[in-house]
Amino acid sequence: MTVTDFERGNQLLAEGRIDEAISAFDRCLVRNPQDWQALSNRGNARLQGKQYDLALADYLQAAAINPAANSVKCNLAVLLKELGELALAESLLREVLAADRDNADAWSNLGVVLQHRLQYPEAIAAHRQAVACAGPSAARFNNLGNAYSCALQLDEAVEAYQHALQLAGDDPFARFNLSIVLFLQGSYQEARPLYESRWDAILQPRYVEQRWGGQNLDGKTLLIWAEQGLGDTLQMVRFLPQLQQQYPRATILFAVPTTFLRLFGQLDGITLLELGVTPPAYDWQLPLMSLPGHLGITLDNLLSQALLAGAGHGFRHARRHDRLRVGIVWETGTWGVGIVDHARQNKSVPIDQFATLLARPDIEFVSLQLGDLPDGWRQQVLTCPISDFADTAAIISQLDLVISVDTSVVHLAGAMGKPVWVLMRAESAPFFMAKGAVSPWYPSMTIWRQTTPGDWTPVLQQVSQGSGTFSAAVGTLKYFSINTIRFGEI
């Protein structure tokens, strides 16, 4: 039986061989430029290859040839979602559903779009409707679990992911997503093995061979390498001394981004390497976030004492002794226009809303945010050059409090034992648990949580009122310190 180019293209796309799939669909279109299905599927391949402009052209051409093709509209909606055009994507999917109420793909895609729009009950309903229309599948239950997870309906999320794994036990996305929910619930032992699925779901390992599996390290060299965000590295570095205690005769290499080299220089007995530079010979290697699993870390034995310290001057502005000095971070960084940065943007507080905190005359605010201050903030916020995390640590050491969105600075402040208030979005984050104002990882941390996704106003009001309480609580200590040991005199 002869396989057509169209069938071959679909097969290649399913195998992830994107360029070959595109070539197969190209051949279809040479023979018949009006083949709207080949156009749509070539658009799918280009979308998967992040060739968004070319995918858009294919979808629009396919829609012009066959305006009634709901599959094309669904695919176009997926592209619009990837571009961050959520309102347009939702409108297009609702148009499909108005014509075909039982279109499971449209319901699934609508659920994903609504999730990104922070409309979690509606997203859950859409995913349940997709299951009702087309029956159970690992992908549909995985999507449903994601919506439940964002809504912090964690028991329901676990059940959905377990349904997905019953249908496809090797699904890396369901396994990874289930691990995140289990971390939120504090079930670390159950989460750890599932979390290793991140390498098949969302990440590519920097090193593959010689993976450490718990073998005796006496007289051996182990390369530990930072694998994810800067905050993750700061959070997990605490386990290196514990590893040293377990294997005092081992040589431990630690590969990290350049920004950590000076800061982590205070870790005795650890050889630091710049991540990306070829390391010296080693016997075993391990990604950093897999280390807690090898050490058997749970909430019951989690060590949470301060590990890092700030050194150097860092900040040279003359201090007003009648004011608290508070470091601030309001954004998780810069972001683009696509959906990839959408979640990170949702973790940030819009500038105009964060500015309401700056009206406190009894507080001297210091920016820990990289980059320039927003317009109009220069009279209210002090700045200092920051070139790496050692600079940031030096500044934090001279502050009374840090107030920050969920980003690397909160982990640094927590690892230093500095009082830090985290402005946490409603969806929370894996190692911050699903609720509560305290963190098992950082005794000096207070978590201020959104109650409504995307709504920062109540949080900022509470923080503004809470800072008065903090001021009263530390005022006596602050003035005692200044008058006796000149704490914070810079």
pLDDT band at 177 (very low <50, low <70, confident <90, very high): very high
Q: 5-147, superfamily in CATH?
A: Tetratricopeptide repeat domain (1.25.40.10)
Helix (H, G, I), strand (E, B) or coil at 447: strand
Beta bridge partners of 446: 421, 438
- Match domain 324-484 to its CATH number in 3.40.50.2000, 3.30.9.10, 3.90.1580.10, 3.40.50.300: 3.40.50.2000
pLDDT at 321: 67
- Which candidate, 353, 376, 377, places its Cα nearest to that of 365? 377
pLDDT at 486: 26
Amino acid at 183: F
pLDDT at 473: 47
- Which candidate, 231, 224, 425, 389, places its Cα nearest to that of 314? 389
Instruction: DSSP letter for 100, please.
Output: -
pLDDT at 307: 86
pLDDT at 480: 28
Query: Once rounded to an integer, what is the mean pLDDT over residues 26-50?
Result: 96
Q: Which of 87-101, 120-134, 304-318, 378-392 has the lowest mean pLDDT?
A: 304-318
pLDDT at 3: 75
Structure tokens of 181? Answer: 């929910």
pLDDT at 306: 83
Other beta carbons within 10 Å of 108: 25
Full 3-state SS string of 339-369: HHHHHHHHCCCCHHHHHHHHHCCCEEEEECC
Q: pLDDT tens for residues 266-286?
A: 999 999 999 999 999 999 999
pLDDT at 264: 96
Helix (H) or strand (E) run with residue 448 in it: strand 445-449
The CA–CA distances, whole Å, from 394 to 387, 389, 391, 398, 404 equal: 11, 8, 5, 7, 17
pLDDT at 336: 62
Beta bridge partners of 404: 329, 422
pLDDT at 489: 29
pLDDT at 334: 64
Query: Once rounded to an integer, what is the mean pLDDT over residues 166-182?
Result: 96
Q: pLDDT tens for residues 306-351?
A: 889 986 556 666 666 678 999 999 998 765 667 877 777 899 999 9
pLDDT at 400: 95
Helix (H, G, I), strand (E, B) or coil at 299: coil
pLDDT at 319: 67
Q: What φ, ψ does residue 75 adopt, rounded to 5°? A: -65, -40
Query: Once rounded to an integer, what is the mean pLDDT over residues 292-310?
Result: 90
Query: Is 368 within 8 Å of 421 (Cβ atoms)?
Result: no
pLDDT at 345: 84
Structure tokens of 189? Answer: 């032992």
Helix (H, G, I), strand (E, B) or coil at 423: strand
Query: Once rounded to an integer, what is the mean pLDDT over residues 32-59?
Result: 96
CA–CA dist 211, 476 (Å, integer): 52
- Which candidate, 2, 388, 441, places its Cα nearest to that of 186? 441
Query: Is 82 within 8 Å of 338 (Cβ atoms)?
Result: yes
Amino acid at 364: E
- Which candidate, 422, 249, 250, 440, places its Cα nearest to that of 347? 422
Q: pLDDT tens for residues 362-376?
A: 899 999 999 999 998
- Which candidate, 259, 379, 392, places its Cα nearest to that of 329? 392
pLDDT at 484: 25
Helix (H, G, I), strand (E, B) or coil at 45: helix
pLDDT at 312: 59
Other beta carbons within 10 Å of 23: 16
Beta bridge partners of 271: 253
Answer yes or no: is pLDDT of 488 > 60.
Answer: no
Percent with pLDDT over 90 in the chain: 84
pLDDT band at 51 (very low <50, low <70, confident <90, very high): very high
CA–CA dist 387, 444 (Å, integer): 25
Average pLDDT across the chain, whole number: 91
pLDDT at 343: 72
Instruction: DSSP letter for 288, please.
Output: G
pLDDT band at 261 (very low <50, low <70, confident <90, very high): very high
Amino acid at 80: L
Beta bridge partners of 373: none
Structure tokens of 306? Answer: 């301060």
pLDDT at 314: 60
Answer yes or no: is pLDDT of 132 > 70.
Answer: yes
Helix (H, G, I), strand (E, B) or coil at 272: strand
pLDDT band at 468 (very low <50, low <70, confident <90, very high): low
pLDDT band at 303 (very low <50, low <70, confident <90, very high): confident
Give the largest Cα separation in the chain, rounded.
Answer: 90
CA-based Rg of the chain, rounded to a whole angstrom?
Answer: 26
Q: Residue written as tokens 């109650």?
A: 451
Percent with pLDDT over 70 in the chain: 91
Query: Is 393 within 8 Å of 416 (Cβ atoms)?
Result: yes
Structure tokens of 410? Answer: 């909160």
pLDDT at 470: 61
CATH T-level assignment (fold) for domain 148-204: 1.25.40
CA–CA dist 320, 305 (Å, integer): 30
Amino acid at 238: R
CA–CA dist 51, 374 (Å, integer): 34
